Amino acid sequence: MADLLETDGIDFHTIEARAKTLESLQNKLSKSGKSFDDTDKQIPDLAGVRVVLYDKRGVSETAALIDKEFDVDSEASSDKLSELAPDQFGYLSIHKVARLKSNRKTMSEWSRFAELHVEIQIRTVLQHAWASISHKLQYKRESEIPSVLRRRLMRLGGLFELADDEFLSLRSQDREVRESIEKKVAAKEKEVLLDLVSVESWAVDNKLMQQIEKAAKQSGIVVSGEDKAPRCKEQLLQVSQTLGYKTLKDLESGLKPLIPAAATFYKELYKITPVYAATSHFAAIVLIAANQDKFSEPKDYPFPDPKAAIEYIDSIRKTSRLIFKGD
């Protein structure tokens, strides 16, 4: 399942799988008024998969993907939202009862699963939270819930549904904001406010960053790709904020005068402490070295655990005094 989602570019939170326990199956089979001639066909959830997505768009995309990749029993499947009245709130999830399609059944590695089916539950993180919380109350059906609790649960269900809608809207707005910032950076606008999106976009094809990378490599440093060290851009942003920079123009103004001394600085620094990192890290470090008055304590440095990096911090300070005449 994970391979299908990743191939389709669908971002998911978790995938869980389970087989129905013997006790649960016995309870279902022993219910009065029901007879089961063929458990494979009459009990579709003997095996179950739960896919938890981040938002409703992901749920819709996953449901469509399952319809495309599997033979889905539409009569046994359900969409819990469509079963609720407009004034009702509660359990929301899409359940797909599926079998392998004929093209997969003939493959030797899949042939033993040819006649089996599975129930695939698709829900958002918040829908999953709702289901988990309500399940803890130990009521299988709404009709079993005492009325004094039912109203509170339904109100809570409404809040979860509203939060799901808001989160979807927030993710859509996030994409729009990112695209807007990326366009401004691509157009070489300098008054773009500093945030992680603007720094990420700016660092991709910037002449100053290219000069920083060249200086690092001249010093014998192996520079990693930014994609292999995403935290390095976070470090550059954190250092820029500590220095009081507000825009990309401020960042460039602070970095540009340091380029001539950068290669010498890196050569001296990494004699003491060799480091493998991305260009953004080296930009952050040279800014720190040239502005030691703003980085007087280990906690001021952009490392997840400054105590663990204390030797590196000491090396930066020593090399700073040597190259930039810092105090």
User: Which one, of 255, 235, 238, 242, lies nearest residue 293 by Cα?
Assistant: 242
Is the CB of residue 52 less than 8 Å from the CB of residue 124?
yes
d(CA 281, CA 134): 46
pLDDT of residue 28: 61
Which residues constitute the domain of residue 215?
A: 196-323
Indicate the DSSP class of residue 222.
Answer: P
Final residue of a structural domain among 134, 160, 186: 160
3-class secondary-structure state, position 15: strand
CATH number of the domain where residue 144 is located: 3.30.460.10
Same domain, 12 and 76: yes
Final residue of a structural domain among 160, 185, 215: 160
**What count of other Cβ atoms lies within 10 Å of the Cβ of residue 3?**
7
Same domain, 208 and 300: yes
Same domain, 6 and 154: yes
User: Which one, of 229, 219, 228, 318, lies nearest residue 274 by Cα?
Assistant: 219
Please give the structure tokens belonging to residue 207: 């002449």
d(CA 57, CA 8): 13
Same domain, 114 and 207: no
Measured CA to CA in angstroms, residue 257 lies from 55, 156, 163, 290 at distances of: 46, 57, 48, 10
Dihedral, 53, 58, 59, 64 alpha carbons, nearest 10: -140
Does some domain include residue 166?
A: no
What backbone phi and psi angles, to 5 degrees, belong to 188? Answer: 65, 25
Task: Work out the angle at residue 199's Cα, subtended by the Cα atoms of residues 209 and 313, and round it to the nearest 5 degrees.
Answer: 70
pLDDT of residue 292: 92
pLDDT of residue 238: 95
Final residue of a structural domain among 160, 185, 217: 160
Same domain, 123 and 204: no
pLDDT of residue 5: 92
Task: Please state the domain count of the chain.
Answer: 2
Does some domain include residue 24?
A: yes
User: Which residues contact residue 152 at a Cβ distance below 8 angstroms, ignoring those fewer than 6 apart?
Assistant: none
Same domain, 91 and 207: no
Same domain, 120 and 247: no
Does some domain include residue 187?
A: no
**What count of other Cβ atoms lies within 10 Å of the Cβ of residue 126?**
22
Q: What is the pLDDT along the chain (327 residues), one digit of tens a residue?
A: 888 999 999 999 999 988 766 666 666 666 655 665 555 555 666 778 999 999 989 999 999 999 999 989 888 888 866 655 555 555 678 899 888 888 877 777 777 777 788 889 999 998 888 888 777 765 556 666 677 777 777 788 788 888 989 988 998 899 999 999 999 999 999 899 999 999 999 998 899 999 999 999 988 887 888 777 778 999 999 999 999 999 999 999 999 999 999 999 999 988 877 778 899 999 999 999 999 999 989 999 999 888 888 999 999 999 999 898 754
pLDDT of residue 257: 95
